[in-house]
């Protein structure tokens, strides 16, 4: 079996895999830019802009990012923590 390795260009230096982001962020909320998903809508990679355990701080940073971007962009807010077993989540 032959494997092909793609070399990232200099613009993609800030891009991290989902596993790298999770390892760096720990139990926190993360603001991601330009997320890439697979066909099953599972996060593959993104650029990590900001993270904090306090969701309010991350949302504040998100508002700042949206206000300064001229061309807009794609952003995602992810929680990389353990969900509270006493809370019911409606999707």
For residue 52, being part of any structural domain is answered with: yes
Given the DSSP bridges, would you call strands 28-37 and 75-80 parallel, antiparallel or unpaired? antiparallel
pLDDT tens, position by position, for the chain (91 residues)? 343 333 333 333 479 999 999 999 999 999 999 999 999 999 999 999 999 999 999 999 888 877 766 656 788 999 998 888 898 878 7
How many domains in the chain? 1
- pTM strictly above 0.85: no
For residue 88, being part of any structural domain is answered with: no
For residue 3, being part of any structural domain is answered with: no
For residue 16, being part of any structural domain is answered with: yes
For residue 73, being part of any structural domain is answered with: yes
- Cβ–Cβ under 8 Å, residues 61 and 55: no
For residue 76, being part of any structural domain is answered with: yes
Domain of 60?
12-80
Instruction: Name 17's Cβ contacts closer than 8 Å, sequence gap at least 6.
Output: 44, 45
For residue 58, being part of any structural domain is answered with: yes
């Amino acid at each position: 079996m032959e494997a092909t390795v793609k070399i990232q260009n200099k613009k993609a230096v800030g891009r991290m895999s989902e596993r790298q982001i999770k390892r760096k962020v720990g139990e926190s909320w993360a603001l991601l830019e330009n997320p890439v998903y697979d066909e099953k809508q599972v996060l593959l990679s993104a650029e990590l802009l900001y993270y904090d355990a306090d969701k309010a701080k991350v949302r504040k940073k998100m508002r700042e990012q949206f206000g300064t971007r001229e061309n807009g962009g794609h952003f995602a807010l992810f929680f990389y923590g353990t969900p509270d077993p006493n809370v019911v989540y409606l999707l």
